[in-house]
Amino acid sequence: MVRRIVQSLSALVFNPWLPNFLTGKLYKGPLKNACVPVLNCHSCPAATGACPIGGLQAAVGARPFNWITLHVVGLLGAIGAVSGRFACGWLCPLGYLQDGLHKIPSPKLRIPRVFEWGKYATLVVLVIALPLLWVDRTGQSTGPWFCKVVCPAGTLEGAVPLLGVGAERIPARPYYLILKSAILVAFLGWMVVSKRPFCRVACPLGAIYGMFNRASLLRLRVDTAKCVKCDLCGKTCPVGLRVYEDADSSACVRCLSCQKACPKQAVGFGL
Kindly state the percentage of the chain with pLDDT values over 90. Answer: 79
pLDDT at position 168, please?
A: 83
pLDDT reported for residue 18? 94
Question: What are 29-62's pLDDT values in tens digits?
Answer: 999 989 999 999 999 999 999 999 999 998 888 7
Q: Which CATH number fits domain 218-271: 3.90.650.10, 3.10.28.10, 3.40.50.1580, 3.30.70.20?
A: 3.30.70.20
Residue 261: pLDDT band (50, 70, 90) is very high
Whether residue 233 is predicted with pLDDT greater than 90 in this model: the reply is yes
Residue 153: the pLDDT is: 94
Give the pLDDT confidence score for residue 12 in this predicted structure: 95
Average pLDDT value for residue range 108-114: 93
| Tens of pLDDT, residues 71-92 | 888 999 999 999 999 999 999 9
What's the mean pLDDT in 84-105?
Answer: 95
Per-residue pLDDT tens for 63-72?
776 666 778 8
Residue 21: the pLDDT is 93
Whether 254 shows a pLDDT value over 70: the answer reads yes
**In the prediction, which pLDDT does 65 show?**
65
What is the DSSP secondary-structure string of the chain? Answer: -HHHHHHHHHHHHHS--TTHHHH-----SGGGGSB-SS---TTSTT--SB-HHHHHHHHHH-SS--HHHHHHHHHHHHHHHHHTTHHHHHT-HHHHHHHHHTTSSS---PPPGGGGGHHHHHIIIIIIIHHHH-B-TTS-B---HHHHHT-HHHIIIIIHHHHHTTSS---SS-HHHHHHHHHHHHHHHHHHHSSSHHHHHT-HHHHHHHTTTTT-SSEEEE-TTT-----HHHHH-TT---TTT-TT-TT-----HHHHH-TT--EEEE-
> Is the pTM value of this prediction over 0.75?
yes
Asked if the model's pLDDT at residue 141 lies above 90, the reply is no
pLDDT of residue 135: 82
> In this predicted model, what pLDDT tens digit does every residue of 155-209 receive, in sequence order?
999 999 999 988 888 887 788 999 999 999 999 999 999 999 999 999 999 999 9
- Every domain of the chain and the residues it spans: 2-210, 218-271
